């Protein structure tokens, strides 16, 4: 075993000098080990971004496009669509106890710099859209109340999700519907939102003041609302006392319901302007009126209709005044409306003039080959009517009692022939057919008039005007001033929500491109 050599005092002193020199020497950065390089590359993704998180990435635009119009040109165009807005005042009359507000704002010139204060007088007398009514709508008709809806707001022209994080589990395809409406809100922001927002739909945090006011820079007022996606109207007028009716926007309503009508999501997911309106001239050339088959035609899924017994305008009777509805609960009648019509048509001796079945499937474009097209609503309101209108055929429309945002423009015997009218059965379609066959030129004019309604009022650009006027009219009836951050603990810009949740929920399968 080797013996240890004693350390001399001189060698210890030299060692201390080297250690002290090393401490005083400037430290140079060590070269990273190859093992650490992947972690260093991930570091920028883990650190907070220096930019505001609610600025939408440019590629989010691929879901809602980048088409916008010069603002003055767009507002002038909106002014030409006056009749389209007549239904807004009717929908909001329940909250408009002053007799102004809703209809005047909806029908005005589109300046719309209201921030909600104009509804104050109505609120002091128990009218207007109160905070209590809005909170009731949030608590009962959004995912917070286990319904298919979301609480939204515009502050400074920027759309936000408010009050609570939407609970998407269990909503199925309605997640896609809610995402679609969120994309529509981003599209409205781009066209009408804050002047400090860029035209790619993003918005910086400086686009509104600290209290959320728009400062007069946005045509979309500061407004808070609930948007629901369920297939039938739910807000019965009779269930709520004056001043407590929850304001809920939905694509369908009825005389007994208070749901505020908006365009159905199918306009956007089916790309209505490109796929239907733009094809009208081509289909007219392919299927001229004289060459159309004189048959009542329709293809339908056998949806059951769910009706509230208190909604008298939507109740249905069957052939020979038979009862076709089953009482499921005190709140629901289940009615196989479409199936009953198809079974009745199959039993009769009218196969040569009634071709109404569940299959085989026929494309909407090929529906144009038939002179008479049947429209039957589904679970509640169906989007089929607006798909039939551009085809240039006469529409036999079921009198179902359900309505959407443009139905006031469609008048019986001017734009369509009503069938299966209230209190009756499907047999009256034969009377309608007999009339149409003996009044061919009048039938042709009706078909052309319905097509013109679609071409004039149902394009994406026209619907954009409708949304603007609706939000302006709604905001004018708020009996309080919305404040950003004042509605619950949840406040997330729609752009950020779709970036984070929309892209990740079910691996982004529910976030689809909409009509540009």
Q: Answer yes or no: is pLDDT of 129 > 50.
A: yes
Domains of the chain and CATH, by start: 69-95+127-192+218-277+459-507 (no CATH), 279-458 (3.40.50)
Task: Provide the mean pLDDT of the chain.
Answer: 84
Pull the structure tokens for residue 459: 């394009």
Is residue 200's pLDDT more than 80? no
Question: Per-residue pLDDT for 6 more than 90?
Answer: no
> So what's the pLDDT on residue 97?
76
Q: What is the pLDDT of residues 295-332, one digit of tens each?
A: 999 999 998 999 999 999 999 999 999 999 999 999 99
Q: What is the pLDDT of residue 18?
A: 53
Q: What is the share, in percent, of the chain residues with pLDDT greater than 90?
A: 73
Contact 157, 214 (CB under 8 A): yes
Q: Judge whether 353 and 295 are in contact, CB under 8 Å.
A: yes
Beta-strand pair 305-307/332-335: antiparallel
pLDDT of res. 199: 38
473 pLDDT exceeds 80? Answer: yes
pLDDT for 194 beyond 60: yes
Tens of pLDDT, residue by residue over 79-127, are 999 999 999 999 999 999 765 444 444 443 333 333 333 333 333 334 7
The pLDDT, as a whole number, for residue 56 is 52
CA 81 to chain centre: 20
Share of the chain above pLDDT 70, in %: 79
Is the pLDDT at 45 greater than 50? The verdict is no
- Tell me which of 7-16, 441-450, 507-516 is least confident: 7-16
Lowest mean pLDDT among 205-219, 279-293, 328-342: 205-219
- Residue-wise pLDDT tens digits, 403-414: 999 999 999 999
pLDDT at 426 over 60: yes
Closest CA to 479 of 101, 186, 142: 101
Q: pTM for the whole thing?
A: 0.83
Degrees to nearest 5, angle at CA 431 with 427 and 433: 105
Q: In a 3-state reduction of DSSP, which class is residue 390?
A: helix
Rounded to whole angstroms, the Cα distance separating 130 from 132 reads 5
Instruction: Please give the pLDDT value at position 130.
Output: 96
Query: Mind giving me the DSSP string for 95-118?
Result: T-TTS-THHHHHTS-S-----SGG
β-pairing, 149-155 with 158-162? antiparallel
62-66, 250-254, 314-318, 483-487: segment of lowest average pLDDT: 62-66
Residue 351 has pLDDT above 90, yes or no: no
Residues in the chain, overall count = 516
pLDDT confidence of residue 398: 98
Segment 37-61 mean pLDDT: 48
pLDDT given at position 61: 87
Q: Look at residue 242 in the predicted model and tell me its pLDDT.
A: 83
Indicate if the pLDDT at residue 265 is higher than 90: yes
Q: Report which of residues 119 and 179 the model is more confident about.
A: 179
Residue showing tokens 């009717």? 90
pLDDT digits (tens, 9 = 90+) for 360-401: 999 999 999 999 999 999 999 999 999 999 999 999 999 999
Q: Is the pLDDT of residue 474 over 50?
A: yes
**What is the tens place of the pLDDT at every residue in 206-232?**
334 334 333 447 999 999 999 999 989
Kindly indicate the confidence band of residue 57, based on its pLDDT and cuts at 50, 70 and 90. Answer: low
| Residue 74 neighbours by CB under 8 Å, 6+ apart | 68, 191, 461, 464, 465
């Amino acid at each position: 075993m080797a013996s240890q050599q004693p350390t001399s005092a001189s060698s210890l002193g030299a060692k201390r000098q080297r250690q002290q020199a090393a401490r005083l020497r400037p430290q140079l950065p060590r070269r990273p080990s190859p093992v650490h390089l992947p972690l260093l590359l991930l570091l920028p993704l883990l650190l907070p971004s220096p930019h505001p998180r609610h600025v939408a990435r440019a590629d989010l635009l691929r879901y809602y496009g980048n088409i916008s119009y010069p603002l003055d040109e767009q507002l002038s165009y909106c002014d030409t669509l006056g009749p389209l807005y007549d239904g807004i005042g009717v929908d909001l009359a329940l909250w408009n106890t002053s007799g102004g507000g809703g209809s005047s704002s909806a029908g005005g010139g589109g300046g719309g710099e209201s921030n909600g204060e104009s509804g104050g007088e109505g609120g002091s007398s128990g009218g207007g859209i109160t905070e209590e009514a809005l909170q009731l709508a949030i608590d009962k008709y959004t995912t917070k109340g286990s319904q298919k809806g979301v609480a939204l707001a515009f502050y400074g022209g920027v759309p936000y999700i408010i009050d609570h994080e939407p609970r998407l589990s269990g909503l199925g395809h309605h997640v896609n519907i809610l995402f679609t409406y969120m994309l529509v809100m981003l599209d409205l922001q781009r066209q009408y939102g804050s002047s400090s927002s860029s035209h790619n739909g993003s918005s910086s945090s400086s686009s509104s003041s600290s209290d959320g006011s728009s400062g007069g820079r946005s045509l979309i007022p500061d407004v808070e609302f609930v948007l629901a996606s369920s297939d039938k109207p739910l807000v019965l007028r009779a269930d709520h006392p004056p001043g407590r009716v929850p304001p809920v926007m939905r694509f369908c309503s009825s005389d007994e319901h208070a749901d505020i009508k908006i365009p159905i999501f199918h306009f956007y997911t089916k790309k209505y302007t490109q796929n239907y309106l733009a094809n009208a001239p081509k289909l007219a050339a392919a299927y001229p009126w004289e060459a159309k088959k004189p048959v009542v035609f329709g293809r339908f899924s056998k949806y059951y209709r769910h009706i509230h017994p208190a909604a008298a305008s939507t109740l249905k009777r069957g052939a020979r005044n038979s009862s076709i509805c089953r009482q499921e609960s005190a709140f629901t009648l289940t009615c196989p409306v479409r199936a009953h019509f198809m079974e009745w048509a199959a039993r009769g001796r009218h196969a040569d003039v009634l071709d109404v079945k569940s299959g085989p499937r026929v494309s909407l474009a090929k529906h144009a080959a038939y002179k008479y097209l049947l429209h039957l609503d589904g679970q509640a309101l169906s989007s089929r009517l607006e798909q039939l209108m551009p085809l240039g055929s006469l529409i036999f429309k079921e009198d179902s009692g359900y309505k959407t945002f443009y139905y006031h423009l469609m008048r019986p015997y001017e734009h369509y022939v009503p069938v299966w009218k209230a209190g009756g059965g499907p047999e009256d379609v034969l009377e309608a057919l007999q009339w149409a066959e003996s009044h061919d030129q009048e039938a042709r004019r009706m078909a052309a008039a319905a097509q013109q309604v679609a071409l004039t009022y149902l394009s994406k650009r026209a619907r954009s005007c409708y949304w603007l006027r609706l939000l302006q009219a709604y905001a004018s009836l708020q009996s309080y001033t919305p404040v950003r951050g004042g509605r619950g603990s949840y406040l997330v810009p729609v752009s950020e929500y779709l970036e984070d949740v929309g892209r990740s929920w079910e691996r982004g399968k529910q976030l689809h491109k909409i009509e540009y």
